[in-house]
Structure formats: structure tokens, C-alpha cells
Amino acid sequence: MKKIMTGNEAIARGAWEAGLHVAAAYPGTPSTEILENISTYPEIYCEWAPNEKVAVEVGAGAAFAGARAMSAMKHVGLNVAADPFFTLAYTGISGGYVINVADDPGMFSSQNEQDSRFYASHAKVPMLEPSDSQEAHDFIKKAFEISEKFDAPVLFRVSTRVCHSKSLVETGERTEIAVKPYSKNTPKYVMSPANAKQRKIVLEQRLKDLQAFSETTELNRTENNGSKIGVITSGISYQHAQEVFGGTVDYLKLGFTFPLPPELMLNFAAAHDEIYVIEENEPYLEGFAKQLGIDCVGREKLPFVGELTPEIIRRAFVPASEETGGYAVEAKAPPRPPVLCPGCTHRGFFYEIAKYKEKIITTADIGCYTLGSVPPLGVNDSVLCMGASISGGIGFRKALDKAGDSRKVFAVIGDSTFFHSGITGLIDAVVNKADIVVNILDNRITAMTGHQENPGTGRTLMGEPTHQVDLEALCLACGIKKENLRVIDPYNLKETAEAVKAGYEAKEPFVIITKRPCALIKEVMKERAKMKCAVDREKCVGCKLCLKAGCPALMVEDGKAKIDTAMCNGCEICAQICPKKAISREDL
């Protein structure tokens, strides 16, 4: 049966058809929907793990035990999971194991633009790269076969356009694969130095076998159109190249991109006068081609930064072309800087710490609270990676102390990010006596990636009620003293201001937990649908102080404040700010 599917849906469907048993992931754009779709197949156990390392280890354990397993993450998640990933190449697996990694060229939703293909070559793990939804579906099934044939985890590398673009997919039915019986195998799975040395030999031999496979697998194919120009490409870049060149060039379309096939590439190059290498991110294929001595053109014509598009490829390789092609839209959308949503539960907190702007350093984290950097709030000093707000804040504290700088450090992190990798930072702050203020903005959901469950939400990915990890108890267990902990409602500015003041004045590690569910949670939206605030124009003096909350529902009209009723959720932050009491709740 044919269905229109995104790449992420197709991966989930293909994995289900391949008899997948266990899947684990941490959400991250553009990979999040892989597990969300997996969760619709009741035959598969699936979970949101607290972070990507845990997800890969859950998959590893399942694969050791003989099940077909899968994990998924965005590119930066593979950095977190790199530890088990590298050693898995040594141990191998028993049941097939596929690790999905989704790159984000152009950084639509990421803090960097790294190219995960180098992880495959670095860890010596076989890698597949689909270029559309049909290939995502078909290749994932192949990936399980390759994993089991070569006793290796397989890296399944996709990118934003493959994950989120929709195309027709011919689907199949599920093949039930029995979980292989587990038998203890200490030399294979216990990576003590003596065993690891032996497994490294196995790994190197496997690499040779995989290279031979790469030369002959149908995942790597040539398309001959009788041209003297040959294009070497992989992933979404193949689709872009097809759009630009169509049948005017020949293609070496690589779907099995580690180990690469030297003979195939050399023969392809020898049969053509000119070779173009078209790929996104880093010159991974091109570097290998050049190592083989292939005279090719690629990166010198293509940008190092951002996503590749057919238009960019056309301009680079067919500059004289009259045709612009692509899907250029005449109308330009007005620029809309990212801001915290109307009714955001983080707004009150940022509004209050912004009052200390000159006296504090704010280390922020990955999540909606990155937007605390945007004026008029404009408080964040740094955002590095998941969990770095607390540990980075400790570094700031120690360096500021050396410099005799008494500015207080406020580390800002979300609930999901705290569970992901903030806890260790908090332990470090307590043990190493860094008197920073850790602010856990607990909105009861993993918000920025689209509302996934986390250890604090009390539900699993499979929809079951479960234990809700108590943030307050966790902080106390990490060594935060009861008198140095505040749990507040961030919609209450007075309470928030008092907690911020107490944190600012504290001489020991201090924690503020702001507790209120994200304004965009379905139930919250329903509950607050009729809650609105309005401005009394008689009372308003046009001082614009309320605008300091940075709420997009607030504007100025004819010199007075005005609220867009459609956007407002009646959080009353602006009402608490207005010195003239000109704003009040006027529910519909």
C-alpha cells in the first residue's frame, strides 16, 4: 500500500515492519517524530529516556539480549551518546541495532551544524543515508539486516529535509522476528582492557568485510545517462542534484556511506571527464574522493554554512543557466524575531531577574528559556549545550571570584534539561561550594521539541501513568539545604521577586523551582481559553512599563497599551507590572 509519509514516519514504519522490539530516544528536532510514530505501534516497547546516552544504552542492552533495537537523537545528542556508541562498535550486538541520528544543516533548531557522518568513520560503525521517505523506509529494514549480518550497530544518518519532507512510500507488513535467546558471552560484552584488545581485532576485520560489502551493495548505485559529467552524492543532496541536473549527468548515488567503496568511486571517476561532489555540511565524500586521488569539484563551489538547496547548486554549477528553478516564492514573510509565547510561564521569572541585569551573570540552557536573551528581557549571557547552564555557571563563579567580581551567577535550566544533564551540575555546585542560583523552570513538559513526556511529567511515552520524579526532593538529595530552596508560581510576580532576591543574597548554592505547566499544553489552553486581560484606556498613561514583560500580545496603539485578545491567556503578568492598575482580567 502507498502512503504519503515524512521521513520520520517512514523510519518508524520501516522499523516496525522489520520486527523492531525496543526503541528509546531523547526528543530533539528534527528526529523527535521517529519515536512519536514508533509509539503508535503497540508491538514495540518504546520510551523517552532522560538523555541520549541512556537511550543508546537501553538499545544496547536490548540488542545484547537478542532483541531488534533502535535509538534516535538529533546530531548533538550523539555527542552525549558518544561514549556507549564508540564501545558498541567493539562489542557488536546480538539482535539488530540501528542508531538514528538527524543532522540539522542550517541550524533551524540547533546550536551547531555538525556532520554526524564523521562519527561513523571515527567509531568505525557502518552507516546508511536515505535520500527520501521511501528510502528511509526501505533502508531501515536493510540496516537491521546489515547490523545482524556484521554483528555491528548501524548508524542511520538523516537530515532535516529527509526527516520532515513528505513523499509516497510503498509500505509492507510486519515480519515478526523472535528475540534471540540470550547467552552469556563475557569476552564479547565485558569491555575490560584484555577483552577490548581482542574485540578491536574483530572490529578491524569487520571493517574490511564491510568495505567489501560497500563495493557491491545495491545501496550504492550508479545511474548512467551517457554523460561525461559524473555527480557523486548522498542523502537529500541527491534529490537536489536530480532537480538541478536531471538526466544531463551520471550519478554515483551512495546510500551506504561508511565504509565508502573505493573501487566503485574510482571506476566511476575514470569513466567521466568531470566529477562533481554534491553534499551538505562538511566535505565528507569529497575528502574521501580526494584521498583516492579523484580530481573532483565540490566544496570550492558550495558554501560551508547552511542547508544546500537546488538553487545554490544551480548557481554553483550552472551559473549561465537562465532558469532559476526551485520553489522561490515572490512574497516575503515579514521577519518575526523569536519571543517567549503569550502566557509563557518563564516570562515572570525573566522579568524579575532582568531587574538585576547589571548585577548578575545568567548562564542559560537549551530550551525555550534561550529566549530570555531576546529584548526587552535580554538577560542571558551564555547558552552552550544541554546542562551547561549549571556547570558553566560554576566555572563563571570560580573565575569571577578570582577576578574579585561579586556579580551573582544565575543558571537557568528547564525541567527536562535538568533531568537530561543538569543534575550532575547541581551536585558539582553543592560539593564544590559554588554559591550560584540554579533556576529550574519547571513547565511540566519537554516544551521546545513539541511537548514530550519527561521524568517529571508522570506519564510514559506509551501513555501509561508512572512515577513522577520530585524535583524538590531531588535537589534536597543533591545537598541543597531546605532554607536554600524555593518552589514558586512564576505567574505570581511578588513570590518570584522574593525568591530571586533571596537567591541573589544567598551565600550558598540556592535553587528556585518555578512550577507551572506550559501555556501551550492542550489541557492548559483549554482551561485558559476564555481567560483574557484588557487595558482600561482611561487609566493607561502610556508609560509602556508593561511592555517590559516582552509579551507578543501587548502593543501600543494611539499612545496607549493594547492587548491582542486572541493571543492573551490572562496570565496577568502585565497586570501586575502596570503601576496604574490599568490592566485587569476581563474573561470572555
Binding site for ligand SF4 (CB under 6 A): 342-343, 533, 535, 540-546, 549, 551, 553-554, 561, 563, 568-574, 577-578, 580, 582-583
CB 354 to ligand SF4: min, Å: 14
CB 551 to ligand SF4: min, Å: 3
CB 579 to ligand SF4: min, Å: 6
Question: Long-range CB contacts (< 8 A, 24+ apart) of 378-384?
Answer: 378/354, 379/350, 379/353, 379/354, 379/410, 380/412, 383/111, 384/111
CB 350 to ligand SF4: min, Å: 12
CB 532 to ligand SF4: min, Å: 7
DSSP state of 420: I
**Closer Cβ to ligand SF4, 521 or 545, answer by number:** 545
**Closer Cβ to ligand SF4, 464 or 557, answer by number:** 557
Distance CA 542, CA 556 (A): 8
Q: What is the dihedral of CA 342, 572, 548, 345, to 10 degrees?
A: -50
**Closer Cβ to ligand SF4, 381 or 495, answer by number:** 495
Distance CA 20, CA 524 (A): 35
Q: Which residues of 42-77 are buried (b: 16+ CB within 10 A; e: fewer)?
A: eebbbbbbbbbbbbbbbbbebbbbbbbbbbbbbbbb
**Closer Cβ to ligand SF4, 158 or 553, answer by number:** 553
**Closer Cβ to ligand SF4, 379 or 554, answer by number:** 554
CB 521 to ligand SF4: min, Å: 15
**Do residues 568 and 546 touch, judged by C-beta distance below 8 A?**
no
DSSP for 11-25, please give it: HHHHHHHTT--EEEE
Q: What angle do CA 300, 302, 308 make, to 5 degrees?
A: 160
**Do residues 348 and 492 touch, judged by C-beta distance below 8 A?**
yes
CB 416 to ligand SF4: min, Å: 23
**Closer Cβ to ligand SF4, 302 or 371, answer by number:** 371
The grid coordinates of residue 10 equal 517512514
**Closer Cβ to ligand SF4, 266 or 339, answer by number:** 339
DSSP state of 292: T
The grid coordinates of residue 268 equal 566511476
**Closer Cβ to ligand SF4, 107 or 543, answer by number:** 543
CB 333 to ligand SF4: min, Å: 23
